[in-house]
Amino acid sequence: MAAAAMLGCLVGGSGCRQRPPLAGTDLAAPPPAIPHPRVERDLRDLRKGGQLHVLFRYDSSNYFLHKGEQAGFEYELMERFARDNGVSVAAVVIEPGADIVSLLNDGTGDVACGSLIADPEHERWVAVTRPTNFARKVLVLPADDQRADATSALSGLAVTLPQYDPFRLDLQKMSDAGGWGLKLGTSPGRLDAEDLVAEVARGKLDAVVVDDLVAQTALTYRDDVRIGLTLGEQRPTVWFVRQNSPELRTALNSFLRGHLNVDADGRERRSNDYTVLHERYFEDPQSIRAFREADTRPDMGGAISKYDDLIRARASFFNLDWRVVAALIYQESRFEPGARSIAGAMGLMQVLPKMAGPQADSLHVPGPNLTAGMRLLRTIYDSYAYCDSVDRWCFTLAEYHAGPGRVTDARRIAMEQHRDPNRWEDSVALTLPKLSDPAWTTKLGAAPFGGGRTVRYVNQILNRANLYAQVVPLGVPAGADSSNDRETASAANFP
């Protein structure tokens, strides 16, 4: 979970906590396991499939989960790009130290984000975009460290960097040339930049070096660290793409050119949209602190929504993965029990009264709404028992959104095109959008329907559910009280 590299050092004086650097001080990352593309997938292929797989490092600036939804500076930028190009973002969260190049080249991702700084070594294996932002490395010290902000004060300092941070080579050269005598160590447990700052605050690391954006953001919600020396020049952060995806790279560059440029005099020119995003995630203390509130961050022990316990209990009763159900509820109502659609669907799961059975008169109440919605969802899910697990959920969600008749029509088109009607990817996901084509609707005797919306609906829910699955345990919802949850789950006679 790292978005930017950082290095820390301890200050001098009587409170000096000097210690030897951690093991693992290799300066350069090993070459990628998969140095060249193994898939052929460019922008036109992505548009056909409807999804752009994006590799993100999980952190509080560029990509994280907040109030049940994905958030972050680079995530929101990528969302805008995806929307402009008719695809949805399928986020793939990677661990600190992950082999990003290989994950691109084997097709796990199509774009890699997360305050990446390209160096000549990277550009042997991947293509890079125009700048997404600019960052400089800074020294982060404990707040009570009185070490002077001068290179002469760095002698013998134990400094920690994330694993394979490319700045390590530059810093070593700077230390050697200046006679600083820095002791460079590797991040323990492959922690990300935010984690390393926290380790300095706890006194477990002497100092770290991080991107200035990470350090400045940290200072808005903590007062136990400080920023020391600026190290090195400002460098652009970029996105990585496969070398055989020139259309995608061109489209990304065109998009970024519309949002961030640098004049000949070095001044940044930002679009209004870019400015708003940058302020939200890097400059406005109020919004930064709000994003760090633990009760809205499942990765910090908080909840996806205030209905987590209720959703889990109902999902357990109907034998459904509560995280998929929660992702559906976010898509349908943003967890608003009073939501109502133009068609008359109501509540958290947007259930039509005619489909609600005994709960028809109380769909505005969370409990009955969840009962009616999950009973319907389970009925649909059971009807696709012959499909594999992934296709089963895709068809279930598609029918929940579009109804059984339209899904059946899309499967009929699949058969006519010699596709497998029991497969979602490369089959029904491609034929559902044809329900808006008069040539097909006339043949089927059906009214036109925007099946492309259904495909996006399915993709967005499953992408969100995948993120929930990565940060929230299946058995216990974030922030849940186990004793209270047992009570709720045992109440199988709920309305």
Q: What is the pLDDT of the chain when averaged over all its residues?
A: 87
492: pLDDT strictly greater than 80? no
More confident residue, 182 or 457: 457
- Same domain assignment for residues 166 and 93: yes
Nearest to 17 by CA among 25, 29, 8: 8
DSSP code string of 367-426: HHHHHHHHHHHHHHHHHTTTS-HHHHHHHHHHHHHH-HHHHHHHHHHHHHTT--TT-III
Examine residue 75 and state whether it is found in any structural domain, yes or no: yes
- Same domain assignment for residues 251 and 317: no
pLDDT for position 481: 40
- Over residues 259-308, the pLDDT tens digits come to 999 887 878 999 999 999 999 999 999 999 999 998 888 888 889 999 99
Question: Looking at the whole model, is its pTM more than 0.85?
Answer: no
Examine residue 202 and state whether it is found in any structural domain, yes or no: yes
Stretch 25-35: mean pLDDT: 75
- Same domain assignment for residues 239 and 322: no
- Same domain assignment for residues 281 and 364: no
For residue 426, give the amino acid letter: D
Examine residue 160 and state whether it is found in any structural domain, yes or no: yes
Give the residue numbers spanning the domain of 332. Answer: 308-490
Q: Coil, strand, or helix at residue 170? A: helix
363: pLDDT strictly greater than 90? yes
Tokens of 426: 């490369």
> What are the angstrom distances between the C-alpha of 209 and each of 17, 213, 216?
17, 12, 12
More confident residue, 128 or 2: 128
More confident residue, 467 or 437: 437
pLDDT for position 189: 65
- Over residues 44-95, the pLDDT tens digits come to 999 988 899 999 988 889 999 998 889 999 999 999 999 999 999 999 998 8
- Same domain assignment for residues 163 and 254: yes
175: pLDDT strictly greater than 70? yes
Tokens of 59: 């952190």
CATH number for the domain spanning 317: value is 1.10.530.10
- Same domain assignment for residues 380 and 259: no
> Which residues, in sequence order, are bridge partners of residue 185?
160
pLDDT for position 123: 87
- Same domain assignment for residues 287 and 314: no
- Same domain assignment for residues 218 and 318: no
Element (H, E) at 52: strand 51-57
- Same domain assignment for residues 58 and 190: yes
Read off the pLDDT band of 184 (50, 70, 90).
Answer: confident
pLDDT for position 264: 79
DSSP code string of 233-255: EEEEEEEEE-TT-HHHHHHHHHH
- Over residues 114-146, the pLDDT tens digits come to 889 877 878 899 999 999 999 999 999 999 998
407: pLDDT strictly greater than 50? yes
Q: Give me the number of domains the chain comprises.
A: 2
pLDDT for position 222: 92
pLDDT for position 305: 93
pLDDT for position 225: 96
pLDDT for position 117: 87
Tokens of 347: 């509540």
pLDDT for position 260: 96
Examine residue 303 and state whether it is found in any structural domain, yes or no: no
pLDDT for position 134: 94
